[in-house]
Amino acid sequence: MHWLGWIRFFEAAARHQNFARAADELHLTHGAISRQIRQLEAELGVSLFERRNRAVFLTEAGRTLQSAATQSMDLLAAAVERIRKPAANTALVLSCEPTIAMRWLIPRLARFSARHPDIPLHLMAAGGAIDFARSGVDVALRRNDFPFDTRWHTREVTPERVGPVCRPDLADHGLDAMPWLHTRTRPDAWQRWARSAGYVLTGSTDVWYEHFYLSLQAASAGLGWAIASELMAYDELSDGRMAAPRGFVADGSAYHLLSPVPFEHDLRRLALFDWLHAEANASSQA
């Protein structure tokens, strides 16, 4: 069964359906990946990839082997996680999108520590796709606005609910009476809200900010209307620093806690998910 050594290369190439990306992941050259795949195909006596127009596609045999390889890799990863004993007081590393970390998660972390003093939590601010193996991250809190890796284990924390917000003394102004504050990290936020709320956008002055939290800060300062996540605006709405006269609606996306291994294999991950889910529910005005 010496061909088992080639399965790792095949699994990466099949997952990406691209030898170059598989090579990048495994820190090898494109040629090295190609040679390993050809050796495996020669050993098995079948073609695993169809090569045409400088692209590769899995054959029927390739799809069969990919299914088995993926299951085997998942089983191995889960077994390693079960038998590996974390060192005493090892921190659980959580990666979280910066805006939700600053505006919602950090103000609540003391409650997690009080409830779970035996689970040190280390927070890293980052968004988008994540490489768990290279980053050293254990779990990641992400909105599903990008494709999740099929190997990840996911649990939905809460649906995303959005709505226009402004400074309280400006709440009686119509949406068209003040500038609309946009963000380049969520460029379609106004359109998504309008579709979900059944509102027809008739046009206003557009002002753009680089990051989501900047548009929220601008709205709080009275510079116009911003589309806010209910979670991110909750504290300012609660203490009267911000107003949301039209309320919030689900925009079809949701926040998920992502893990490279099953949650059931690590009580720390389960504890964090349960706490996040409860806190998110408490932060909803629905």
CATH code of 122's domain: 3.40.190.290
CATH code of 57's domain: 1.10.10.10
Residue 49 three-state SS: strand
Q: How many residues does the chain have?
A: 286
Q: Of all residues in the chain, what percent are helix, strand and coil, respectively (each to 5)?
A: 45, 20, 30
Query: Do 148 and 271 reside in the same domain of the chain?
Result: yes
Q: What is the residue whose two structure tokens read 């009580």?
A: 267
Q: Residue 164: is it exposed, middle or buried by C-beta count within 10 angstroms (0-12/13-18/19+)? A: buried
Query: Do 30 and 117 reside in the same domain of the chain?
Result: no
Domain count for the chain, please give it: 2
pLDDT higher than threshold 60 for residue 59: yes
Query: Do 10 and 135 reside in the same domain of the chain?
Result: no
Query: Do 140 and 259 reside in the same domain of the chain?
Result: yes
pLDDT digits (tens, 9 = 90+) for 79-132: 666 666 555 567 899 999 999 999 999 999 999 999 999 999 999 999 888 888
Query: Do 278 and 183 reside in the same domain of the chain?
Result: yes
Query: Do 147 and 37 reside in the same domain of the chain?
Result: no
Whole-number Å distance between alpha carbons of 112 and 103: 16
Query: Do 76 and 100 reside in the same domain of the chain?
Result: no
Q: How confident is the model at residue 156 (pLDDT cuts 50, 70, 90)?
A: very high
**Of 34, 66, 83, at which residue does a domain stop?**
83
- Among residues of the chain, what percentage have pLDDT more than 90? 60
pLDDT digits (tens, 9 = 90+) for 175-231: 988 999 999 989 999 999 999 999 888 877 899 999 888 999 999 999 999 999 999
**Of 83, 105, 127, at which residue does a domain stop?**
83
Query: Do 123 and 71 reside in the same domain of the chain?
Result: no
Query: Do 77 and 18 reside in the same domain of the chain?
Result: yes
Whole-number Å distance between alpha carbons of 211 and 203: 22
Cα-to-chain-centroid distance, residue 283: 20
Q: Residue 55: is it exposed, middle or buried by C-beta count within 10 angstroms (0-12/13-18/19+)? A: exposed
pLDDT at 286: 46
- In angstroms, the Cα distances linking 189 to 132, 171, 186, 229 are 29, 20, 5, 10
pLDDT at 202: 82
Which residue segment(s) compose the domain that 231 sits in? 92-286
Q: Residue 254: is it exposed, middle or buried by C-beta count within 10 angstroms (0-12/13-18/19+)? A: middle
**Of 83, 113, 137, at which residue does a domain stop?**
83
Query: Do 275 and 146 reside in the same domain of the chain?
Result: yes
Query: Do 126 and 69 reside in the same domain of the chain?
Result: no
- Among residues of the chain, what percentage have pLDDT more than 70? 94
Question: pTM for the complete prediction?
Answer: 0.69
